[in-house]
Amino acid sequence: MTHQFHPTVLREYDIRGIIGETLGADDARAIGRSFGTLLRRAGGKLVAVGYDGRVSSPMLEHALIEGLTSAGCDVRRVGMGPTPMLYYAEASAEEVDGGIQITGSHNPANYNGFKMVFQGRPFFGADIQTIGTMSAAGDWDDGTGTVDTRDINAEYVERLLAPLAAIAPEKLANIKIGWDAGNGAAGPALERLVAKLPGEHHLLYTEVDGNFPNHHPDPTVEENLVDLRALVASKGLDFGIAFDGDGDRIGAIDGEGRIIWGDQLLMIYAEDLLNRQPGVTIIADVKASRALFDHVSKLGGKPVMWKTGHSLIKSKMRETGSPLAGEMSGHVFFADEYYGYDDALYAGVRLISSSVQLGKSVTQLRGEMPAMLNTPEMRFQVDESRKFAAIDEVKQRLSGTDADVNDTDGVRVTTDDGWWLLRASNTQDVLVARAESFTAEGLDRLMGQIDEQLAASGLERGPQAAH
């Protein structure tokens, strides 16, 4: 028996597709058999399995477990919850050898997919391609695994509270926070969490609904924060926190309704952490603001610019021993007192903790940040066969000049005006561009340089692609 996947579903960081079109139960079964076979051959046995709130998730869970058990793995079902709860199930129990979360992340409701952990490390890139080659060859071991179910929601939420344990209760008594779960999988855990938090809390859309009736659960898109902004304003709250569909990415606004982007959140976390652990390495992706890297340096930390992608960042953290990392997209990774994976609920608790430890409100911390002018992440369609080649051409042209180029992930060019970035997406047939400057004129000049490079490769910054 063999299985062929649709060519679009085996991505760089995870597996993702459209239910009924490119992804279904047979795919889930083959993923289970391949992952299970790999784990058994590596000496592992027990896999934790969780799923998000999408309508198709229980069906995929059933088929995935069939595949895992038929490869001889035992399965621990942790049920519906955010992706970080599955990561917690894998990281906190010594006997668990791997983990798979069924989730469509921040994609539209008709998508779903899989995020995986293999013996404590991210499972991505070549690992995911191996799933495809094993399935195509029917290279599977046979066995009979067992299945048990364990509710870890309460235990997981208890662990989220740890950053506040050493803070005097009176310092937390007056906090007022708004939370938006976006009808995603984090809702029930969030309800349980805020019931245990001091202060005043107002919640939006905690009922899990895979059709996302109120707004799309992607907190990096400004229009998805409209309801949270209104809540913070009407109730006079200190700040607001929003989650994506599977609870591994955080979005935030301050008390004045200003967005706190992923790199700006990292500035707050870094300031707090560097007070306690001077000189540590802090990692951010190539899309992050220069203000963040400058801030970390000024505070005596070691800033490292790295490739975009949660799996790539986690691997770099392990390599460098970094206790904190993050991405523009709202993935934040804490390894100082936590497990090193991206958990937006934990990041929310850490924002409370950082604000109190630094003795400043979140609004004050946001207000102290340098006023940089930057573009949103611009994504535009480029043929799959051209996207990496075009970036190589840009690198080639710039190599003969005195341009200040960082080619960690694409091309990031620093000039007197600021910086601009062009990189190829690992998950879609798009190029991603971003620029940041101190002035509007500088931003125009930087955008001109991007357009110039694109034109030289026969491309243009045409219609924006969907995220």
Counting residues of the chain whose pLDDT is more than 70, the rounded percentage is 99
pLDDT of residue 385: 83
Amino acid at 243: F
Counting residues of the chain whose pLDDT is more than 90, the rounded percentage is 88
Q: Are 47 and 75 in contact (CB under 8 A)?
A: yes
Sequence spans of domains, the chain: 15-151, 157-367, 373-456
For the CA atoms of 161, 163, 164, 166, what is the dihedral angle to 10 degrees?
Answer: 130
> CA 132 to CA 174: how far, in whole Å?
53
> CA 401 to CA 336: how far, in whole Å?
41
pLDDT(11) > 90: no
- Closest to 332 measured CA to CA, from 390, 385, 290, 270: 270
Beginning with the edge strand found earlier in the chain, give each strand of the sheet holding 176-180 in spatial order: 200-204, 176-180, 239-243, 250-254, 259-260
* Residue 322 falls in the annotated catalytic set: no
> CA 37 to CA 42: how far, in whole Å?
9
- What is the SS3 string spanning 313-348? HHHHHHHHCCCEEECCCCCEEECCCCCCCECHHHHH
pLDDT(330) > 90: yes
Give the C-alpha distances (Å, rounded to integers) separating 264 from 65, 370, 438. Answer: 40, 10, 16
> CA 55 to CA 293: how far, in whole Å?
41
pLDDT of residue 466: 46
What is the arithmetic mean of pLDDT over 324-348?
97
Q: Place domain 157-367 in its CATH homologous superfamily.
A: Alpha-D-Glucose-1,6-Bisphosphate, subunit A, domain 3 (3.40.120.10)
The string of pLDDT tens digits covering residues 387-441 is 999 999 999 999 988 899 999 999 999 999 999 999 998 877 889 999 999 999 9
The string of pLDDT tens digits covering residues 58-94 is 999 999 999 999 999 999 999 999 999 999 999 999 9
pLDDT of residue 380: 87
What is the arithmetic mean of pLDDT over 189-209?
97
Q: What is Dmax (Cα atoms) for the chain?
A: 66
- Residue with tokens 């369609």, as numbered in its chain: 381
What is the arithmetic mean of pLDDT over 3-27?
94
Q: State residue 316 phi and psi, 5-degree precision.
A: -65, -35
> CA 270 to CA 296: how far, in whole Å?
7
Joined together, the tokens standing for residue 117 give: 């952990």
Q: Place domain 15-151 in its CATH homologous superfamily.
A: Alpha-D-Glucose-1,6-Bisphosphate, subunit A, domain 3 (3.40.120.10)
Bridge-based pairing state of the strands 200-204 and 176-180:
parallel
pLDDT of residue 460: 84
Q: Which of 105, 135, 322, 355 is catalytic?
A: 105
pLDDT classification of 105: cutoffs 50, 70, 90:
confident
The string of pLDDT tens digits covering residues 354-377 is 999 999 999 999 999 998 999 988
Joined together, the tokens standing for residue 287 give: 């899309």
What is the arithmetic mean of pLDDT over 103-128?
93
Bridge-based pairing state of the strands 302-306 and 281-285:
parallel
- Residue with tokens 């229009």, as numbered in its chain: 223
> CA 184 to CA 179: how far, in whole Å?
12
The string of pLDDT tens digits covering residues 248-265 is 999 999 999 999 999 999
What is the arithmetic mean of pLDDT over 258-275?
97
Fold of 373-456: TATA-Binding Protein (3.30.310)
pLDDT(467) > 50: no
Give the C-alpha distances (Å, rounded to integers) separating 303 from 267, 268, 286, 296, 413. Answer: 11, 14, 12, 6, 17
> CA 218 to CA 467: how far, in whole Å?
10
What is the arithmetic mean of pLDDT over 3-17?
92
- Across all residues in the chain, what is the average pLDDT? 95
Beta bridge mates, 18: 111
Burial of 237 (0-12, 13-18, 19+ CB in 10 A): buried
pLDDT of residue 117: 96
Among 186-190, 390-394, 426-430, 442-446, which stretch is predicted with the lowest mean pLDDT? 426-430
Tell me how far the alpha carbon of residue 261 is from its chain's centroid: 13
Neighbours of 466 (CB within 10 A): 9
Q: Are 116 and 14 in contact (CB under 8 A)?
A: yes
> CA 302 to CA 209: how far, in whole Å?
42
pLDDT(464) > 80: no
Domains 15-151 and 157-367 share a fold: yes
Q: Please report, in angstroms and rounded to a whole number, the separation of the first and last CA atoms in the chain.
A: 36
Q: State residue 293 phi and psi, 5-degree precision.
A: -60, -40
Spatial neighbors of 349 by CB under 8 A, at least 6 apart, are 160, 161, 163, 164, 193, 197
Can you tell me whether residue 92 is helix, strand or coil?
Answer: helix
> CA 325 to CA 332: how far, in whole Å?
6
The string of pLDDT tens digits covering residues 285-313 is 999 999 999 999 999 999 999 999 888 99
E strand or H helix that includes residue 172: helix 169-172
